[in-house]
Amino acid sequence: MVDVLLVEDTDMQRALLRGFLTPEHTVVGVAETGEEAIREADRTAPDVVVMDIDLPGTDGIEATRTIKRANPEVAVVMSTAMVTAEIRDRATDAGADAYLTKPFSKDDLLATIDEACGR
């Protein structure tokens, strides 16, 4: 079981992902914006962040860069419906450990988290 910070700006997607994550993992925090994600990562010290890329304000890529700079050990799983090589490259450059394309299944999410955390 790992501690997860869930970063998603839509209520329905947050609820779906929370359902996917529990009871296998503990959701230690939830954020709707990149700025909130940075604060919550500092406050909760998660093992992994499930990070939407398309967020209001600071996007998920820049939030990931800031989080990884402060805590390089935290794993970040990026999630987005935008599938381009440029986005993947930017996410990787920011420190993302894994990448999921929406929509994805519970099994895909859990397997990706395990892989990103080295389990």
Q: Which pTM was predicted?
A: 0.96
Report which secondary-structure segment, H or E, holds 113.
Answer: helix 106-116
Query: Looking at the 3D structure of the chain, how many domains does it have?
Result: 1
Write down the pLDDT at residue 118. 85
Q: Which residues pair with 27 in a beta bridge?
A: 4
For residue 47, what are its two tokens?
């093992």
For residue 28, what are its two tokens?
């230690």
Q: The domain containing residue 76 runs over which residues? A: 2-114
Kindly report the CATH number assigned to the domain that includes residue 38.
Answer: 3.40.50.2300
pLDDT in tens, 30-76: 999 999 999 999 999 999 999 999 999 999 999 999 999 999 999 99
Report which secondary-structure segment, H or E, holds 73.
Answer: none
- Domain-located, residue 25: yes
- Domain-located, residue 37: yes
- Domain-located, residue 52: yes
The residue type found at 54 is D
- Domain-located, residue 119: no
Give the DSSP letter of residue 98. Answer: E
